[in-house]
Amino acid sequence: MENQEQGRRTFSKRLTPIEVEKRIILFFYTVVAEFFEFEEGRQFFMDVTDSLGKEWTFVGTFHANNIVENHVSISWAQFSLEKGLKVNDEVTFTEKPQGNGPWKKFKVVIKRKIRLFGQDIWGELMV
């Protein structure tokens, strides 16, 4: 799912059981096409700042697939462990303004659905 947040480009999704278990996040290439130029097998780096201001570097890889569709895998093992990510958490990457650096810069926000007084509420995960 792609959104516009305060004029900045974003991409987001809800985590699946495989993504939580393998500590990797997968996007169809069409979701991230305006951020990265596809080149099968090539790795790329993302400088990411979380909601607490901590900086992370995620490594992504492009995968070509005739059956499923071209996709991107983003490895974030330490981030996933430290944040305690769960199935159905929503992850949103928002592009940050950047200079001439070779890496893309993003802010990442994790939201989790909780049930409060019989209502489902999405709240930002601040850990």
Q: Indicate whether 4 pLDDT > 70.
A: no
- pLDDT category of residue 69 using cuts at 50, 70 and 90: confident
- For residues 100 and 19, the model is more confident at 19
Rounded average pLDDT over 44-69? 90
pLDDT in tens, 82-118: 999 999 999 999 998 776 555 789 999 999 998 889 9
Torsion of CA 124, 24, 103, 7, to 10 degrees: -40
| Mean per-residue pLDDT over the chain, rounded | 86
**Structure confidence at residue 39 (pLDDT):** 84
Domains of the chain in start order, with CATH, are 10-124 (2.40.330.10)
Rounded average pLDDT over 18-41? 86
Q: Indicate whether 48 pLDDT > 50.
A: yes
Report the half-sphere exposure of 66 (CA within 13 A, side-chain side): 0
- With 0.75 as the threshold, say if the pTM is over it: yes
Nearest to 20, CA basis, from 90, 83, 92, 86: 86
- pLDDT category of residue 44 using cuts at 50, 70 and 90: confident
The backbone torsions φ and ψ at residue 89, rounded to the nearest 5 degrees and listed phi first, read -60, 145
